[in-house]
Structure 1
Amino acid sequence: MTIRDKVISIIAEQAVLDPSDVQMDNTLEELGIDSLGLVESIFAIEEAFDISIPFNANEPQASDFDISSVASIISGIEQLKAGQA
C-alpha cells in the first residue's frame, strides 16, 4: 500500500466515507472531519508510518506540517519519511 493509499484510507475512516470519496484537493473540513477528528487522524498517521508529525493541535495553522488538504498531508508525510532514510 502506498503512502497516498494509506493516508486516504485513514482519512476516509475518520470521515466515515469510502476511500473513493476522498479527493486529493479535499480539505479535512470538507470531508466533515472536525478538530478532534483531525487530532485522531494525525495520531493514526503517526502510528501507521512510525513518524512524529510536528503538529500543534492548539494552533494547526502555525504548524510546520501543512494540513490544508489531503494532498498536502501526503506530501508532508513523504517529506518526513524521506528525512528518516
Structure 2
Amino acid sequence: MMTPTQIELARHALGLDGRRRQSYRNYFVTGEGCHEHTEWMAMVSAGYAWRRAGTPLTGGSDLFRLTRAGAKLAIERGESLDLKDFPTVPS
C-alpha cells in the first residue's frame, strides 16, 4: 500500500489535480537528497514505479514512472488512466 505522501507524488506524476478526471502524463523527476527521491525509491522497491538514472536531459536527476499497478492505487473514484502513458513492454 502507498503512504499518503506517495499517493500525492503519484497523483502529481499523473497530472491529477482534482479538476482533471483522466491522467495525461506519467513522470516525475527528482534527485538524490530530496525527500521525494526517497519516497519514489520506496515505490520502486514496492513495484509501484520504476526509475531511470539521471541524464543531461533531466539535469542529472532521476526520472520515475509509475507502473499501472502503482497508478491504480493513486486514482480516485471517477478518475481514469490514459493508457498511452503505460505502454506494454515486450517480453
Q: State the TM-score, normalizing by the size of structure 2.
A: 0.32
| Rg (Cα) greater in structure | 2
More strand per residue: 1 or 2?
2
Q: State the TM-score, normalizing by the size of structure 1.
A: 0.33
More helix per residue: 1 or 2?
1
